[in-house]
Amino acid sequence: MIPKSLMQMALGAGAALLVGCASSPIPVSANFPMTVEPKVRSAGHWGMLSSDVAKQTLESLGKLGVSGNLYVALPPNPTTFDKAFQNFLITDLVKSGRVVQQYPDKALEVSYQTQVVRHNSHRPNFLPGRFTMITAGLYAAYGLGLAPVGDKMAGGLAYAAGADYIASESSGGPTHTELILTTTIAQGGRYLVRKTDIYYIEEADVGLLQYRAPAQVMKVVGP
C-alpha cells in the first residue's frame, strides 16, 4: 500500500512536470505537413515544366479576359536552361492556338527568371509514403474489427516501407539544391499573371541553370 503522502507528492511532481512541458522560453520547432516536390533531371522535364506554365498562363489570361499576341522574352545572360525553356514555351503557346511574335512590338511580354537555392543543412532522404500509409490504414481497419494480425502487421508494414524507400531512391532523393522558376506577364506597370514553382535539381546540373560570368584573363605587360 502506497502511503497517501507519497502519492500526493508523486501527483504534485507530475503536475509540475506537465506545467513545465506546456511552456517554453522560445518557440518549439514543428514540421510542415508532408509534401511532394518534383525533381528536374532531364531536358524532357524542362518541357514538362513549360507545358504546365503555358497551360496555367493561358488559363489566367482567359479568366482576366485578356487577349492579344504574346512575346516570350529571353532573360539577360541566358543559361542553357533559359534558351531551351524559351523554345519549349513558344512551342507550347503556339500549339495552344496563341499568336507568338518574334519581336516585342505591341505584344504581351511573357518573361521568366530562375533562382538557384543551396541549403547547407542535412537533407533527410526518406519519409513514409503512400505504400506505408495505405498498408497502415488497412491494418487500422483490421484493428477496428478486432481481427488478430500479429506478426503479419509488422511484416506488411516493413514491406510497404521498403517499397516507399525504393520509390524515393529511384528519384535520387531530395538534394541540397532547388530551382525557383517564376513566370510573369505584366502590362501597364502591373502584374497580370504571376506563377512561381519550386523543384529539386541535382548539384551536378547547376551549371545548366545558373549563369556564371566568364573568367577574366589578365594580360601581363612587360616593362
pLDDT of 203 strictly over 50: yes
More confident residue, 73 or 19: 73
Name which of 116, 118, 108, 49 is nearest 79 in CA terms.
116
pLDDT value at residue 132: 47
Predicted confidence at residue 38, as pLDDT, reads: 87
29 torsion bin: left (phi>0), alpha (psi -120 to 50), beta (else): beta
Average of per-residue pLDDT across 99-121: 93
The CATH label, of 3.40.1000, 3.30.160, 3.30.70, 1.10.3720, for the domain at 39-123+174-209 is 3.30.160
What's the CA gap between 41 and 201, in Å, rounded?
7
Residue 15: pLDDT band (50, 70, 90) is: low
pTM of the model: 0.68
- The average pLDDT across 35-54 equals 92
| CB-count exposure of residue 22 (10 Å: 0-12, 13-18, 19+) | exposed
- Name every residue whose Cβ is closer than 8 Å to that of residue 70 and which is 6 or more positions away in sequence: 93, 98, 99, 100, 101, 107, 108, 109, 110
Residue pLDDT, tens place only, 122-145: 877 655 554 444 444 444 444 444
pLDDT value at residue 125: 65
CA distances from 27 to 19, 22, 172 (A): 16, 12, 33
Residue 156 CB partners (closer than 8 Å, separation 6+): 135, 138, 139
pLDDT of residue 22: 63
Residue 167: pLDDT band (50, 70, 90) is low
Cell matching residue 73? 522574352
CA atoms of 50 and 58, how far apart (whole Å): 12
Q: Which residue has the higher pLDDT, 49 or 9?
A: 49
